[in-house]
Amino acid sequence: MDNLTEQLTSRREASRGRMDAATLDIVDGATAEIAALHISENSLQVGDRAPEFRLPNPQGDLVSLTEMLERGPVVVTFYRGGWCPYCNLQLRAYARAQDEFEALSATVIAISPETPTYAERTSLENEISFPVLSDVGNAVARDFGLVFTMPRELWPLYEQWGIDVVAHNGDDRHELPVPGTFVISTDGIVTWRFVDPDYTKRAEISDILEALRLG
């Protein structure tokens, strides 16, 4: 099984090693600003009922949480976009663990504010077989309590890095979800969650599988 945390840490260290002091100050300041929003504390908690949603996959078919729960528990993971290397590491790791999720009758669903065109690209490039859904406008992420507006000091920095969040999201609001993963039981209740304002940290596969085994 992949150790996702090790991969993310290695990627983070390599990325920060290429940044100058001014850039690091901007990135760290923005992370602190997002942490001050207390999204983890204010988002959906264990014991809460997950809000129903119906979102399109890249083919235009609507995928319903309720319908997925009829098959077994669902792992809903919110990611920022296919432009985010940490998101791609996470999605690829989850895709490689697909057999382990299926052995527990669980379905993984990945959600981002990207348009279906970009969501399809993300799915193909990361060889994902589970549903990758488009939450344009972040309505579902907002229901889960994860949405924030990107700090303005990041906008020119992302442009410098060649990341066009406006194009990916299909709007100019610069809103993103804090990456979060929720295990939802067949009765629609959140039984486990991972939400961290530090976008370089993601739910480890072994922890998700353990939560699924415990029900």
Summarised one tens digit per residue, pLDDT across range 65-124 is 999 999 999 999 999 999 999 999 999 999 999 999 999 999 999 999 999 999 999 999
Q: What is the DSSP track for 2-42?
A: --HHHHHHHHHHHHHHTS-HHHHHHHHHHHHHHHTTTHHHH
Beta strands in 83-125 (DSSP E): 107-112
Mean pLDDT of 200-214: 97
Residues 6+ apart with CB under 8 A from 5: 201, 202, 204
- Evaluate if residue 1 carries a pLDDT over 80: no
Which residue ranges form the domains of the chain, and what is each CATH number?
Answer: 4-214 (3.40.30.10)
DSSP, collapsed to helix, strand or coil, labels residue 155 as helix
Beta bridge partners, 108, equal 75
Q: What percent of the chain has pLDDT over 70?
A: 99
Residue 2 confidence (pLDDT): 65
Summarised one tens digit per residue, pLDDT across range 29-38 is 999 999 999 9
Residues 6+ apart with CB under 8 A from 91: 79, 110, 122, 126, 128, 132
Summarised one tens digit per residue, pLDDT across range 153-166 is 999 999 999 999 99
Residue 87 confidence (pLDDT): 98
- 154 and 34 in contact (C-beta within 8 Å)? no
